[in-house]
Amino acid sequence: MQLKSIIAVLFLSVSAANVNAQQIFRMSQYQQHNFLYNPAAAGAADQASVGASYRKMWAGIDGGPQTTILFGDKYFAKKKVGIAVALYDDKTGPTSRTGGQINLSYSIPLKEGRRLMFGLGGQILQQKLDKAAFAESDYFDDTDPIMSAPANVTKGDASAGIYYKTPTVNFGFSVQQLIQSKLDFIKGTTNTQGKQYRHYNFTADYYARTDEDNVLIPNVLVRYLPNAPVDIEGGVRLEHKNILWVGFNYHYKQSYAAFAGVKIQNKLAIGYAYDVYKTPLSVFDDGGDAHEISLRYFFK
C-alpha cells in the first residue's frame, strides 16, 4: 500500500465530523507492562526496572504504524508508593504522537500479600502533521482545511486508575486522557477540531501454577473509547521457572499474536511478539503483520 492511500485514510480520521484522536499505542505483550496503561500498577512488579519496546505494525506497508517506548518503574515499600515513567514516539504515515507520562501509585497492604493500589498520572503530548506528505498526495489541494492547520499541537492530560494485586489474581481499571484536551488542528465552530478521547481500560490475569516449575497465566485487556467498538484482547502465557515464557493472544476481529521471551540471570528480560492481522487487510495489498521487541532490566 502506497503512502498516498495511507494519507487518505488518515485524513478522514483527522478532519471528519466527530473525529477520534489517534488511539493510544498498544502492545501485544501488554500483560507484562500494565503500568503503561494503568497508573495504579506503577511499581506492582516490586522489582525496580527500566526498559524499551519497539513495535512496527503492517511491516510490509510504507508508512505503517511504528511505536518506540522507553520506560521505568520502581516501588518504594516503606512509603507504599510506586512510580512509573514512560517516553514514547508513535508514528503512522504523516502523523505522529510524541510524549511522556509519569504515573504514581499508593498501596494499601492487605492480608496474605495482597495490595489495593490507587494511581494518578500526568501526560504531555505533541501531535504532529507532516504537511509536506499531505501536499504530495493526489487526494488533497491547497484549499483543504488541513493545509492551514498548525503543524503540531502540544497538550497536557491526566489518567487515573485502581489496581488489585495478589499472588495469584491481578486486575485493574483505568481511564487515560481523562481531561480530553482539544487538539484544535482545524479552527472553527464545527465539530472537526478533534480531541484526545478518554480510553477506559480493564485488565485481569490469573497465575495458575501447574507444577513446581511452570505457571499458566491467562489474561485479558478490554478497552473502550467513544465512537468506536469495544476492543477486546486476550490470551495465555506459559512461564517456566521465571526464565522462559511463550504465549498466544487473540485481538478480537483484528489479529493473532504469538510471543516468547527469556530472562537472563533473573535480570534482563528479552521478549518478541509477532502479529498476523486479518482486518483491515481487505483494503491492503500485503504486509498485514507486526513485529514487537521489548527489553527490560530488573534491579535486585
Residue 36 corresponds to which cell in the numbers above? 503503561
Position 83 in a domain: yes
**DSSP class of 20:** P
pLDDT tens-digit series, residues 258-268:
999 999 999 99
Domain count, the chain: 1
CA distances from 34 to 30, 31, 59, 253 (A): 6, 6, 25, 23
Position 71 in a domain: yes
Position 238 in a domain: no
Position 212 in a domain: yes
CB-side exposure of 58: number of CA atoms within 13 Å? 23
Find the domain containing 41 and state its range: 3-217
pLDDT tens-digit series, residues 90-120:
988 888 889 999 999 999 999 999 999 999 9
8 Å CB contact between 43 and 73: yes
Position 249 in a domain: no
Give, for all 300 residues of the chain, the pLDDT tens digit: 444 444 444 443 443 333 334 578 889 999 999 999 999 999 999 899 999 999 998 867 777 889 999 999 999 999 999 999 999 999 888 888 899 999 999 999 999 999 999 999 999 999 888 777 766 666 566 666 666 666 788 999 999 999 999 999 999 999 999 999 887 766 655 555 678 899 999 999 999 999 999 999 999 999 999 888 899 999 999 999 999 999 999 999 888 999 999 999 999 999 999 998 877 654 455 667 889 999 999 997
Position 47 in a domain: yes
Position 33 in a domain: yes
CATH code of the domain in which 83 resides: 2.40.160
Position 12 in a domain: yes
- DSSP H or E segment with residue 244: strand 244-251
The distance from CA 40 to its chain's CA centroid, rounded to whole angstroms, is 16
Give CA–CA dist 178/172, Å, rounded.
16
To the nearest 10°, report the CA torsion of 3, 180, 75, 32. Answer: -40
